[in-house]
Amino acid sequence: MAENIETSFDEAIKAGKINGAIICTTDAKGHSIYNEAFGARTLLSGEKVPQRLDDVCFLASGTKLITTITAMKCVEQGLLTLTDDLSSIAPELAAKQVITGFSDDGETPRLEPANKPITLEMLLTHTSGISYAFTDPNLTKWCEKFDAPDGNPRPVEESFRYPLAYQPGTSWMYSVGLDWAGKVIERVTGRSLGENVQEFVCDPLGISDTQFYPVTREDLRSRLVDLNPHDPSASACAVVGNRTEVNESTKGDFGGHGLFMSPSSYIKILHSLLANDGKLLKPTTVDDIFRDHLGQEASAGYRAALAGPIGPFFRVGIDLETKTGHGLGGVVTLQDIEGGYGEGTMTWGGGLSLTWFIDRKNNLCGVCALQPALPDFDGEILEVLKQNFRRDIYRKHAAWKDQQQ
């Protein structure tokens, strides 16, 4: 498959691997470097309409960056700090123990008390011990025995009531920390996470097309990519490998994965952080978001996770040999990547089909939202296309700069 965006994306559409894609990129001055919509989306009626930049997509874990910004706004307002114990706000976190295994007969979990309190910084950097259950065999087994799904939607507190996978602050594993951070935000503000996101993130940038699952606003449903004959309930299952339970099992606003928004709006958020324009957060706060926050123990756990079986997912297109850390909103590169990200770039993704980056050194940010075809979901082609976006967008940026001279 060709490595340039246009050819590879068009080939994937013709082959029935994706239905479409949306790419938005800009520099700090707001120049549109490359904005393009490919393919078409299918309405519930079966009618196909051309993909548009302002079509509403499921952000999945692209939500995490927005929750981070909202949390840091609460820090600026004095409602939270990065390093204080959250026990008084979320006593459920203080009650969690660390699972170390099971009894010889496999029936009784071995648990030990947490030796330090969980902080907001830990939640935002995936170092709290609150991992996704699928990343740890002990957590998976605990959930199978004591927390089997009953088919009813559950809030954050009930969805993630399982033990810690490791002592807080001593390792790293991709986690539901941002979902808990969203709950903390709700408790200190007395409002829903969605209301806080609208005031702290969307209103300052003129964004009006955002809603947590389920999307009920008719003006958004008319533009919703994930409302189609293959997904009539708009669960956005295509983004997460044709799994409807990711959203349908939730109740309330989940700060780790629940937002829907158009890429043309998401790029406004990336741009504001790239320009550090003060519209969302103080410049010093933005600088702190981009700093590597992992201590020595957590860094060792992070490197082990990157080299593990699901490490490629955590590396978001970055080679294992490249030095990276973790900021408050995503992976941070600690060195330049030839022909790509500069040192200090932050990046992450959403589900299996969305990726974003903010490269402050090379003055570029972008988001790519693929629309996987169902029912024959092809995760491998999505990885190829996302990587083509990450590489070719830098070639297009270089060509754009040449044209300006």
Query: Catalytic positions, please?
Result: 61, 64, 174
CA distance 99 to 96: 9
What size, in residues, is the chain?
A: 405
Helix (H) / strand (E) element for 100: namely strand 97-102
Three-state DSSP state, 250: strand
Q: What is the DSSP string of 11-55?
A: HHHHTTSEEEEEEEEE-TT--EEEEEEEEEEE-TTS-EEE--TT-
**Buried/exposed code over 105-143 (b: 16+ C-beta within 10 A; e: otherwise):** eeeebeeeebeebbbbbbbbbbbbbbbbbebbebbebbb
Q: How many CA atoms lie within 13 A of 394 on its CB side?
A: 16
Cis omega before residue 214 (within 30°)? yes
**Within 10 Å of residue 307's Cβ, how many Cβ atoms?**
11
Q: Which amino acid is at 215?
A: V
For the stretch 399-405, contacts whose Cβ atoms lie closer than 8 Å and that sit 24 or more positions apart, written own/partner, are: 400/31, 400/33, 400/34
Sequence-ordered list of residues with C-beta below 8 angstroms from that of 228, at least 6 positions apart, any chain: 41, 42, 43, 44
Residues 262 and 247: their CA atoms lie apart, in Å, by 18
